[in-house]
Structure 1
Amino acid sequence: MEFLSEVIGEAVVLSIDSLILGLCIKQLSKCKHILNTLQSAPVLGIDSSLQKEISKYPNDVIPYAVVRGLVKPLGNPITSNYNQTVTGVIQRLTIKEHVVARTSAGFWSDQTRTIHEVCNSTPFVLCNGKYSIEVIDALAAELLDLDVISDKFEPMSPGVIDHVWGFFSGVRQRGLQTMEEMLRDGSYITVIGEISKSSGGIKIQPPRDGLPLFLTTATKSSLLKRLSSSKDFLRILLVLFGSIGAIASGRIAYKYIKRRRRKIAEDVMKKQLAAGRKERRAQNRDKNLSEVQLCVVCSENPKEVILLPCGHVCLCEDCSDNIQDKCPICRERIDSRAPAFIT
């Protein structure tokens, strides 16, 4: 416990660093897996050859593939709330609160938090002429590129009471931001996921092996560059937090070794002092003693220690160091001992 109190700061830093390092390793491993799988994923055209291509795979399922096409709703599209001329297949409405909050250091900083978010979707397909492929569970996509249709900020006009309350509470309201985003009808996008063929037609959906579904305006090569940048950034974080962890571990090891060496030096000093005391006791002891005055263990040195709580004076100081548990006379447990002087 004493050593733990000495390294409590390093232990906290090492614990937090290990947690962040573990998350970085997990994300880096995931990013590498996605990158490697995406690099080998086939780029398929939405045409007459698509069904033949799917038939080459077991169970008519391509685990990960890339297709590009035009977005077309199956049925009525979603109409924008703020622009009646815009329609789409996915709609996301977000309301964010902007505030100025006082930090623990006493400074004021701008902060934003989402207070409400709604996503709407309608079934849709990617098409190329008369050929199409249905997109299933698009809202589960890890990357979903949407167009911003409307982005409005309504500032608040706080009164005197609001200013006073904000000063004491540490939060001042700035306003509300309302944003509408949509995947427009007719957009040309790239979808990456699992492609399968059934009686209902061809569909693309989130892969069953945990790989992400992507709906993006970027091409496969652009997405690979983006993922490579993320991988490089995670590697930098890995090196950074790994170095911090190594430094914290090194400081703990240094303090432990330093404490261990100090303890060894103290033990050597105690042994030297004990040997010196033993030698001085041997020189100063009386030689001509009766048998009653001699230690009951060695029968050479005088009785010098009283054992408590039994009160027996039966041991010399040398033998007392070797007998720690029970009195040699009455076998009662020894709780403490004290010097005894027999005249």
Structure 2
Amino acid sequence: MDFFSEIIGETVILGLDSLILGFCVKQLSKCKHILNALQTAPVLEIDSSINKELKKFPNSTIPYVVIRGLVKPLGTPITSNYNNSITGVVQRLTIKEHVIARTSAGFWSDQTRTIHEVCNSTPFVLNNGKYSIEVVDALAAELLDMDVISDKFEPMSPGVIDHVWGFFSGVRQRGLQTMEEMLRDGSYITAIGELSKSKTGALKIQPPRDGLPLYLTTATKSSLLKRLASSRDFLRILVVIFGAVAVAASCRVAYKYVKRRKRRALDDSVKQRLAAGRRERRAVAREKNLSEVQLCVVCTENPKEIILLPCGHVCVCEDCSDNITDNCPICRKRIESRAPAFIT
């Protein structure tokens, strides 16, 4: 039996586990990087001292900084689609479809999928009195906390035909959910990102260039640190679990490989003993005092016993035939097969 067929189960488990383990390790490394950067990020107030802090860094750029301020649009704010009295600077409109789908196990479960999503934004700053910092590319923020302005669910009223079709297709419609979220004008938020000064002297905070995320959240720095620490600890547990599975699967493969090597060595030993026994029995049964013409051309001791094909030469004994696998010793033609020969 081929060795791979013996370990196919362990190979599949090890392959899937390696993919999950690699993903967890990558996410853990990313989480640690963000956590370390956030721990060392300075917390600055939006006032006159911020320019002094910028001068301490090369190119007047702080790679990662924490700033809190009030959201204020630079132009005309976005008006809510469902409440004209509410305005904001970032708007997200989402339409989700709720269905009851039949799983492969035959059970029915609730499922939701987004069928349409639109995001709108307008330039805005974080303001504190007469000082302000422009927020650049807010939609690229990894964490963007917004208020839910409207959340409506419109249930569907399926008819008899819809019920029958849903039973056979495995999907039953429940309804549509329409949601509007906004980052309101006047919200007090925390912005975490790269702080720099433009050529005109205006301050701006934007997604960092070294891959760190931009955060626009209502949470404080300490809250984010606790959340990231919790995620890091959870990822560590996953890495340990999937790492243990990988080690167990690898050990199982190694055990089967060693066991197969021992079994093969034992089989080879048995074959060698059987071959030695056959040689001894042939030596006893062979005729003595044969003429030179009847002797093997290789060892010149034993009688000719094997015919080589396709050339047809009967020129070697069975003992020598085991060691000659390529060409006939008489005509040097390629040996394709061999058979016992009986010379009378």
SS at match of 2:223: helix
Q: How far apart are the structure 2 equivalents of 1:310 and 1:167? A: 73
Amino acid at match of 1:191: A
**Partner in structure 1 of residue 113 of structure 2:** 113
Q: How does 1:12-91 map to 2 (within 5 A)?
A: 12-91=12-91
Amino acid at match of 1:114: T
Q: How far apart are the structure 2 equivalents of 1:101 and 1:243? A: 35
Structure 1-normalised TM-score?
A: 0.98
Q: What do the CA deviations read for 1:51-110 (whole angstroms, capped 9, x no partner)?
A: 111122111111110000111111111111111111111000111111111112222211
Q: How far apart are the structure 1 equivalents of 2:230 and 2:224? A: 10
SS at match of 1:270: helix
- Name segments (4+ residues, structure 1) moved above 6 Å: none
Tell me the CA shift for residue 288 of structure 1: 2.4
For structure 1, which runs of at least 5 residues remain unmatched after alignment?
none
**Partner in structure 2 of residue 334 of structure 1:** 335
Are positions 1:217 and 2:179 aligned together?
no
Tell me the CA shift for residue 240 of structure 1: 1.1
**Partner in structure 1 of residue 193 of structure 2:** 193
Q: How far apart are the structure 1 equivalents of 2:160 and 2:342? A: 85
Q: What do the CA deviations read for 1:303-341 (whole angstroms, capped 9, x no partner)?
A: 111111111111100010111111111111100111111
Q: How far apart are the structure 1 equivalents of 2:172 and 2:245? A: 37
SS at match of 1:92: strand
Q: How far apart are the structure 2 equivalents of 1:3 and 1:97? A: 49
Q: How far apart are the structure 2 equivalents of 1:109 and 1:304? A: 76
Are positions 1:319 and 2:325 aligned together?
no
Q: How far apart are the structure 2 equivalents of 1:106 and 1:261? A: 47
Q: How far apart are the structure 1 equivalents of 2:170 and 2:255? A: 43
Q: How does 1:107-146 map to 2 (within 5 A)?
A: 107-146=107-146
Q: How far apart are the structure 2 equivalents of 1:240 and 1:85? A: 52
SS at match of 2:322: helix
Tell me the CA shift for residue 177 of structure 1: 0.9
Q: How far apart are the structure 2 equivalents of 1:249 and 1:293? A: 58
**Partner in structure 2 of residue 158 of structure 1:** 158
Tell me the CA shift for residue 16 of structure 1: 1.3
CA-based RMSD of the aligned residues comes to: 1.1
Tell me the CA shift for residue 200 of structure 1: 4.7
Percent identity over the alignment is 80
SS at match of 1:109: strand
Tell me the CA shift for residue 128 of structure 1: 1.0
For structure 2, which runs of at least 5 residues remain unmatched after alignment?
none
Count, aligned residues: 343
Q: How far apart are the structure 2 equivalents of 1:221 and 1:305? A: 88
Structure 2-normalised TM-score?
A: 0.97
Q: How far apart are the structure 2 equivalents of 1:282 and 1:80? A: 103
**Partner in structure 1 of residue 304 of structure 2:** 303
